[in-house]
Amino acid sequence: MKKNKMINAATCDARAVTEESLAGYENITINAAILIINERSKELLNKYPVTMNAATVLEIPDGENVSVQSINGKGEIGPDSDGTGVFLMVNGKLVIADGSQEAVKSYYSIMVNGKVLMPKSFEGRFSNIQVRGKTEYYPDGATILKADTEIDDLFIARAANTLYYCSGNLFFLDTGIDSEKLLSKGLKFTAKRVVIAESLIGKQVTLFDEEAEIVKVPDGTQLIDDDLELKPKTIKKYGTRLCVTGDVSIKDAEALSSLEYLFADGTVSVNKELEDAFDEIESVYDELRIIDPDLGLIVDRPMVKVGASVLGKYPKGVRVEDCAKVTLSEDLSAEDIMEKLHIVDCAMVICSKEQEEAVNMIAEDVAMIQASGQDSDDEDGEDGGALGTLGSFLGKLKDTQIINAAEYKM
């Protein structure tokens, strides 16, 4: 008996597929973000029982020598980059340097799943770039800074350019900074947001692009470049005026009572009993989350399992948010789910058929709800997201070959 074959890959290159490799299987399924074919392989794939689920199909003419380069994270193209005969796929961020126009054009094709950052003058000039996400432009000639950058005397002394770009926050917090030297060097800054000490605004406001958001903070505010759980030792180390580049968790009443000012470029989570005290403090943040001890909160987990025992701990129920895979135990009744469970912004929920209707009622912005007659996380299963769940099920079938890979050549 012929076997089935399933390929789960970010990039599947099928240009070299042979008739012999296809004829050996009863069914072949290709799940890929990008499927690369040519005229010859397309004819073969259509000739045999091949199911192709691809977000993008890239067809390269027969005879063209094109290689695939994949980058997960940050990629860069500079003036000296040579993309001749290269299909570049970036899952993350692609930075295109000033003066790299010909280098970009040298690539056969570029696909970015995420963000592209390029000079303003490059806008609309490239037909070989596809972006699934966001394209951001910076001023020509500017030096690109990291998303959160503090400007101090050391930065001024080392500055070799006059124009700088920051896609995130620029911090001017040191009130002792040499403003005269800053101005004499002719430095200019383009940024999404400028966080600046109050006494510096009059001296430095002309340095910033007019579109930048200006956030004024009290003199003496100290920068913490990370997430933060506020504790008395935090106040002792950094003082009572804080500027945080990430999320802030506030559970300690003593530490909160000493806090005078808080800027947070993220979410501030405050225990419910401290809500009134926090309201008295001057603060700037992206989002405020009040933590109720009677309401369970599960956030930002790759995988989580929720059962009756978990719901039983919280009188007001449980909220599951920003998790990749949520599995519900069979001991959860439909009534429990409706009354005490809220699932928001999760990729996948695994439940029983009896639970499915209730899950559909309480789920919000969930990509996939998979109902089955059994728990997907049983002792024989393997976790791995949507494809992993499907692969775990099919892997039990002796007549199915499964391939999971970032890149696969047929």
Task: For residue 279, tell me if it sits in a domain.
Answer: yes
Task: For residue 376, tell me if it sits in a domain.
Answer: no
* pTM over the 0.75 mark: no
The torsion angle over the Cα atoms of residues 347, 353, 355 and 359, rounded to 10 degrees, is 30
Whether 156 and 207 map to the same domain: the answer is yes
Whether 29 and 95 map to the same domain: the answer is no
The torsion angle over the Cα atoms of residues 309, 314, 317 and 320, rounded to 10 degrees, is -70
Q: Which of 370, 385, 405 is the last residue of a domain?
A: 370
Instruction: Report pLDDT digits (tens) over 24-43.
Output: 888 999 998 889 999 999 99
Position 2 confidence tier, pLDDT thresholds 50, 70, 90: low
Smallest CA-to-CA distance from 341 within 352, 325, 355 is with 355
Q: Which of 179, 213, 247 is the last residue of a domain?
A: 213
Task: For residue 383, tell me if it sits in a domain.
Answer: no
- Please give the C-alpha separations between residue 196 and each of 200, 225, 322, in angstroms, as whole numbers: 7, 15, 32
Task: For residue 405, tell me if it sits in a domain.
Answer: no
CA 369/CA 377 separation, integer angstroms: 15
Task: For residue 389, tell me if it sits in a domain.
Answer: no
Smallest CA-to-CA distance from 297 within 258, 341, 335, 346 is with 341
Position 91 confidence tier, pLDDT thresholds 50, 70, 90: confident
CA 302/CA 304 separation, integer angstroms: 7
Whether 34 and 51 map to the same domain: the answer is yes
Residue 105 token pair:
């054009």
Q: Which of 41, 59, 77 is the last residue of a domain?
A: 59
pLDDT at residue 373, as a whole number? 55
Position 390 confidence tier, pLDDT thresholds 50, 70, 90: very low
Instruction: Report pLDDT digits (tens) over 119-152.
Output: 999 999 999 998 989 999 999 999 999 989 999 9
Task: For residue 274, tell me if it sits in a domain.
Answer: yes
pLDDT at residue 300, as a whole number? 85
User: What is the residue range of 283's domain?
Assistant: 222-291
Whether 274 and 302 map to the same domain: the answer is no
The amino acid sitting at 216 is K
Whether 129 and 147 map to the same domain: the answer is no
pLDDT at residue 145, as a whole number? 94
Whether 82 and 134 map to the same domain: the answer is yes
Q: With helix as H, strand as E and coil as C, how does 23-82 read?
A: HCEEEEEEEEEEEEECHHHHHHHHHCCEEEEEEEEEECCCCCCCEEEEEEEEEEECCCCC
Task: For residue 375, tell me if it sits in a domain.
Answer: no
Total number of domains in the chain: 5
Task: For residue 393, tell me if it sits in a domain.
Answer: no
Position 379 confidence tier, pLDDT thresholds 50, 70, 90: very low
